[in-house]
């Protein structure tokens, strides 16, 4: 390893060890690790061709990969070797690992799930490709200026990305706009604009390095030649225009789509990567098969949300316009290949495109969508329409074009059946299935939490890393004082490290013995960070009223970004920072209560916070969080959950036992009923002196003396249209928090409850999830090449 690192430093980077930076060492180490992956990767690809195995194609606008060095080293079993090699070379391994930029090609749960799935597909030896976009700028970087969120461009690609292989030979022409001619019973699309999709491949090797799959990300390039004539005329801008326009498509993750131009760009991004992926998989299939009718036997395509839903019409277009299949047969064949995962019920996230826009950008696809709509009507008269009120409804399109549609937790799947897709479900009663999300235990315990991971391995061996259900053995230790002490010591070590990091990055001193209460996720009204900060103020009030009473010291930790155009979410961020400033400087409460909100939450920060958390905040309005996966990561790392009966919380609670979970709040059904009660929010506030007081303080500018009316709108909104029922759940949340305080004061009881959480989370490994998809949706075999035991 040492020699390989030095060789890369010299031959690949052209650097001399004596004059190399941390960055150089990190790239050299990554290249050395990548070398070790390549053989496994080639072997896997060869085997897939030889056995003509069915391949899974996972189409996702987002892959929230995070850093890869540790992940790759762990899967290859090379962490110790890499550490030793760098140490011998006089380098600090941890600093080298931390030098890697956090690849944030995603917003949150959906993108992180896609990354976990890539790990598991490889670990289970399922031949698979992840397909997405190689964004030049991932999710924006968040800073706080006077407590306000400020966004700047993220720049992960300004340094060399050592993991990827550029494939200039793998290119597809992607058309936009133009018109469609029909003659001799055939359609001919003449796009007005064309860009090239170029592939970049990252090998993804599973646990123990036995199988390698590919994450293929597409980058946009101009299809036209460089305009030398304009350049020679001195018109340099004109010469570069087509290049700039083409590159725009893969420039940023989630462009602001509140403008028409933004909407068009987003639609082009979706079509760009979907079309390139479909063309690529068809090319691969046809290199080995003659009859396109066999496609469903060899190809399973999973649509991660509706973003790649244009895959249905694109497959139909290629099969009918280019391979001359009748349209109805093409529709049926495409359907047999496609599966669709729904990740949200929020109406604003279920995509709809105006027919004017879709017809302008993708005229042939609009015709095909009409044909699919008619085909559905002919087979099922009265079925919900894909095209309605001048819009193309991508959820309906994805549903109708998929042979299976899945929700991501038991509750969410039931709600998918009974709400957004109730009519389609009645027509196709076996199409919707559930696949509760899962997480990879490799990244989310083994790698991110060394103290706990080592303790578990000492106690029950290391089989749990591959088969998480083995953690169940720890249930026998919940009465073992010595083991509980060791378990608490591992948590304490993580908390101490986090406290040091908080002191360095936020300048706030926190006590590692206080309860670390963590809410990290996108900032959204339904996730109710607002309720958390209101509860913080209420607790602060009561601590100040009786500072000598018996309190459990708390550190409230927040992390998350608000979408740049989401005004209320940004106000919530501002409020948390304003409250933090006041509370953290209050000599009366001192160490009893601190509020910490480090900027720029990302995967790396999650890996730091989750192992150190005592309490996991999963407090969404019931019925709104499709699943959550952070909830699983926390429980696995021995945090207790305070949560509502929402998303996967329901199943987590069933697994860890209701006595080891702090439940509060209205159920999904009660939420719907409560919304029908006239003036429910005002009534709830008036019935709660505690909440009224807090809202009064915020509205009066107690936390924003420089601008006392700053939160009038936010507070007024709670009185008038508290759609997410913060007011109705507040008292029950507050009381449950105090119950958590009490239990925390009895340290060994808390530790036993936390251990039960860790021990019971085996079911939430994405091994189980991927096996479920393989069996129920893709009809492929999990070959268990990595020696993972079959638990499903
Ligand atoms: O909001 C859901 C989250 O609950 C879920 O865990 C995640 C993965 O399934 O998907 C999120 N949805 C989105 O990010 C957008 O639909």
Give the mutation target among 439, 627, 668 for probing the ligand 1 site: most ligand atoms within 8 A of CB. 627
Query: Would you tell me how many other CB atoms lie within 10 Å of the CB of residue 481?
Result: 11
Instruction: Look at residue 245 in the predicted model and tell me its pLDDT.
Output: 84
Quote the DSSP letter at residue 106.
S
CA 568 to CA 457: how far, in whole Å? 45
Q: Is 342 in the pocket of ligand 1 (CB under 6 A)?
A: no
Instruction: Look at residue 792 in the predicted model and tell me its pLDDT.
Output: 29
Atom of ligand 1 nearest to the CA of 342: 16
Instruction: Report how far ligand 1's centroid is from the alpha carbon of 627 (Å).
Output: 7
pLDDT digits (tens, 9 = 90+) for 41-100: 999 999 999 999 999 999 999 999 889 999 999 999 999 999 999 999 999 999 999 999
pLDDT digits (tens, 9 = 90+) for 218-238: 999 999 888 888 889 998 888
**3-state per-residue secondary structure call for 517-569:** EEEECCCCHHHCHHHHHHHHHHHHHHHHHCCCCCCCCEEEEEECCCCCCCHHH
Q: Is 61 in the pocket of ligand 1 (CB under 6 A)?
A: no
Instruction: Report how far ligand 1's centroid is from the alpha carbon of 477 (Å).
Output: 34
pLDDT band at 789 (very low <50, low <70, confident <90, very high): very low
584: which residues sit within 8 A by CB, 6+ positions away? 508, 594, 595
Q: Is 437 in the pocket of ligand 1 (CB under 6 A)?
A: yes
pLDDT digits (tens, 9 = 90+) for 492-515: 999 999 999 999 999 999 999 999
Instruction: Report how far ligand 1's centroid is from the alpha carbon of 395 (Å).
Output: 15
| H-type alpha helices, 89-193 | 93-98, 109-123
Instruction: Look at residue 222 in the predicted model and tell me its pLDDT.
Output: 94
Instruction: Look at residue 790 in the predicted model and tell me its pLDDT.
Output: 35
- Average of pLDDT values for 393-402? 98
- Average of pLDDT values for 301-327? 97
Q: Is 741 left (phi over 0), alpha (psi -120 to 50) or beta?
A: alpha
- The verdict on ipTM greater than 0.95 is yes
Q: Is 344 in the pocket of ligand 1 (CB under 6 A)?
A: yes
680: which residues sit within 8 A by CB, 6+ positions away? 674, 722, 725, 727, 728
Backbone angles phi, psi at 598, to 5 degrees: -65, 140
Q: Is 646 in the pocket of ligand 1 (CB under 6 A)?
A: no
Q: Is 626 in the pocket of ligand 1 (CB under 6 A)?
A: yes
Backbone angles phi, psi at 341, to 5 degrees: -100, 125
Q: What residues are labeled active site? A: 343, 521-522, 527, 629, 633
Check pLDDT > 90 for residue 111: yes
pLDDT band at 349 (very low <50, low <70, confident <90, very high): confident
Asked if residue 555 lies in contact with residue 514, where contact means CB atoms within 8 angstroms, the answer is yes
Closest C-alpha to ligand 1, atom 8: 110
pLDDT band at 23 (very low <50, low <70, confident <90, very high): very high
Instruction: Report how far ligand 1's centroid is from the alpha carbon of 108 (Å).
Output: 7
Instruction: Report how far ligand 1's centroid is from the alpha carbon of 107 (Å).
Output: 10
Give the mutation target among 58, 108, 395, 398 for probing the ligand 1 site: most ligand atoms within 8 A of CB. 108
pLDDT digits (tens, 9 = 90+) for 437-453: 999 999 999 999 999 99
Atom of ligand 1 nearest to the CA of 412: 4
Q: Is 151 left (phi over 0), alpha (psi -120 to 50) or beta?
A: beta
Closest C-alpha to ligand 1, atom 14: 110
pLDDT band at 783 (very low <50, low <70, confident <90, very high): low
Q: Is 222 in the pocket of ligand 1 (CB under 6 A)?
A: no
| H-type alpha helices, 362-409 | 363-379, 394-401
Q: Which of 260-264, 270-274, 345-349 has the lowest mean pLDDT?
A: 345-349
pLDDT digits (tens, 9 = 90+) for 742-770: 999 998 899 999 999 999 999 999 999 99
Structural domains of the chain, with CATH: 1-51+77-100 (no CATH), 53-67+102-437 (3.40.50.2000), 441-764 (3.40.50.2000)
Q: Is 109 in the pocket of ligand 1 (CB under 6 A)?
A: yes
Instruction: Look at residue 785 in the predicted model and tell me its pLDDT.
Output: 54
pLDDT digits (tens, 9 = 90+) for 607-634: 999 999 999 999 999 999 999 999 999 9
Instruction: Report how far ligand 1's centroid is from the alpha carbon of 622 (Å).
Output: 14
3-state secondary structure of 207: helix
Atom of ligand 1 nearest to the CA of 111: 14
pLDDT digits (tens, 9 = 90+) for 680-704: 999 999 999 999 999 999 999 999 9
Query: Would you tell me how many other CB atoms lie within 10 Å of the CB of residue 786?
Result: 20
Atom of ligand 1 nearest to the CA of 341: 9
pLDDT digits (tens, 9 = 90+) for 293-309: 999 999 999 999 999 99
Q: What b/e string do you get for 59-84 counting C-beta neighbours within 10 Å, with b at 16 or more?
A: bbbbbbbbbbbbbbbbbbebbebbbe
Token pair of 780 as six digits: 């492929």
Instruction: Look at residue 788 in the predicted model and tell me its pLDDT.
Output: 46
Q: Is 630 in the pocket of ligand 1 (CB under 6 A)?
A: no
Asked if residue 390 lies in contact with residue 355, where contact means CB atoms within 8 angstroms, the answer is yes
| DSSP per-residue codes, 132-160 | EE--SB-SPEEEEETTEEEEE---TTSS-
- Average of pLDDT values for 419-426? 97
CA 483 to CA 565: how far, in whole Å? 49
Check pLDDT > 70 for residue 791: no
Closest C-alpha to ligand 1, atom 10: 110
Closest C-alpha to ligand 1, atom 6: 628
């Amino acid at each position: 390893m040492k020699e390989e690192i030095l060789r890369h430093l010299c031959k690949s980077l052209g650097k001399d060890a004596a004059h190399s930076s941390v960055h150089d060492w990190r790239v050299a180490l990554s290249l050395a690790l990548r070398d070790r992956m390549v053989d496994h990767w080639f072997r896997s690809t060869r085997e897939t061709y030889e056995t003509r195995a069915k391949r899974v194609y996972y189409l996702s606008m987002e892959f929230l990969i995070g850093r890869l060095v540790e992940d790759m080293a762990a899967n290859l079993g090379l962490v110790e070797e890499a550490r030793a090699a760098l140490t011998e070379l006089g380098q600090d391994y941890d600093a080298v690992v931390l030098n890697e930029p956090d690849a944030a090609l995603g917003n949150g749960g959906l993108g992180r799930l896609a990354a976990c799935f890539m790990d598991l597909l490889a670990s289970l030896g399922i031949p698979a490709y992840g397909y997405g976009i190689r964004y030049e700028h991932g999710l924006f970087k968040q800073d706080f200026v006077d407590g306000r969120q400020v966004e700047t461009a993220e720049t992960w690609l300004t340094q060399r990305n050592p993991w990827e292989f550029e494939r200039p030979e793998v290119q597809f022409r992607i058309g936009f706009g133009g018109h469609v001619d029909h003659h001799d019973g055939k359609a001919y699309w003449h796009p007005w604009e064309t860009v090239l999709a170029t592939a970049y491949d990252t090998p993804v090797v599973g646990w123990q390095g036995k199988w390698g799959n590919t994450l293929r990300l597409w980058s946009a390039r101009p299809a036209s030649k460089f305009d030398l004539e304009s350049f020679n005329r001195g018109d340099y801008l004109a010469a570069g225009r087509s290049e700039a326009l083409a590159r725009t498509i893969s420039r940023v993750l989630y462009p602001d789509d509140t403008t028409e131009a933004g909407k068009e760009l987003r639609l082009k991004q979706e079509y760009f990567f979907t079309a390139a992926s479909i063309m690529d998989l068809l090319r691969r299939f046809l290199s080995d098969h003659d009859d396109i009718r066999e496609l469903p036997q060899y190809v399973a395509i999973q649509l991660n949300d509706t973003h790649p839903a244009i895959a249905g019409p694109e497959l139909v277009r290629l099969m009918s316009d280019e391979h001359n299949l009748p349209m109805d047969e093409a529709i049926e064949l495409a359907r047999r290949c496609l599966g669709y995962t729904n990740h949200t019920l929020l109406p604003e996230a279920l995509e709809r495109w105006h027919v004017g826009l879709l017809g302008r950008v993708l005229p042939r696809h609009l015709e095909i969508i009409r044909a699919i709509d008619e085909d559905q009507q002919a087979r099922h008269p009265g079925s919900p329409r894909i095209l309605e009120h001048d819009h193309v409804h991508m959820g309906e399109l994805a549903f109708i074009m998929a042979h299976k549609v899945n929700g991501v937790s038991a509750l969410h799947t039931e709600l998918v059946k009974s709400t957004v897709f109730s009519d389609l479900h009645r027509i196709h009663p076996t199409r919707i299935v559930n696949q509760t999300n899962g997480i990879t235990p490799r990244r989310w315990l083994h790698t991110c939490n060394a103290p706990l991971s080592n303790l578990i391995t000492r106690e029950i061996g290391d089989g749990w890393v591959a088969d998480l259900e083995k953690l169940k053995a720890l249930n026998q230790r919940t009465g073992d004082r010595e083991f509980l002490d060791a378990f608490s010591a591992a948590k304490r070590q993580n908390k101490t490290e986090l406290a040091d990091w908080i002191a360095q990055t936020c300048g706030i001193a926190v006590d590692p013995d206080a309860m670390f209460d963590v809410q990290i996720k996108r900032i959204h009204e339904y996730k109710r960070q607002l309720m958390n900060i209101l509860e913080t103020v209420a607790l602060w009030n009561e601590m100040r009223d009786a500072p000598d009473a018996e309190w459990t010291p708390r550190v409230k930790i927040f992390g998350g970004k608000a979408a740049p155009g989401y005004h209320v979410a940004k106000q919530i961020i501002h409020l948390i920072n304003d409250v933090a400033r006041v509370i953290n400087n209050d000599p009366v409460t001192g160490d009893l209560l601190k509020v910490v909100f480090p900027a720029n939450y990302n995967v790396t920060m999650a890996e730091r916070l989750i192992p150190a958390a005592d309490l996991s905040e999963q407090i969404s309005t019931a019925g709104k969080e499709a699943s959550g996966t952070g909830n699983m990561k926390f429980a696995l790392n021995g945090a207790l959950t305070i949560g509502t009966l929402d998303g996967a919380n329901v199943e987590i609670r069933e697994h860890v036992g209701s006595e080891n979970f702090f439940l509060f709040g209205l159920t999904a059904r009660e939420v719907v009923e409560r919304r029908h009660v006239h003036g429910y929010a005002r009534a709830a506030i008036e019935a709660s002196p505690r909440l009224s007081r807090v809202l009064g303080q915020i509205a009066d500018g107690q936390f924003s003396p420089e601008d006392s009316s700053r939160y009038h709108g936010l507070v007024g909104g709670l009185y008038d249209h508290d759609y997410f029922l913060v007011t109705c759940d507040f008292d029950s949340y507050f009381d449950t928090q105090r119950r958590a305080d009490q239990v925390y004061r009895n340290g060994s009881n808390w530790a036993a409850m936390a251990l039960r959480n860790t021990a019971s989370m085996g079911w939430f490994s994405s091994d189980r999830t991927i096996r479920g998809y393989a069996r129920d949706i893709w009809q492929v075999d999990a070959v268990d090449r990595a020696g993972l035991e079959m638990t499903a």
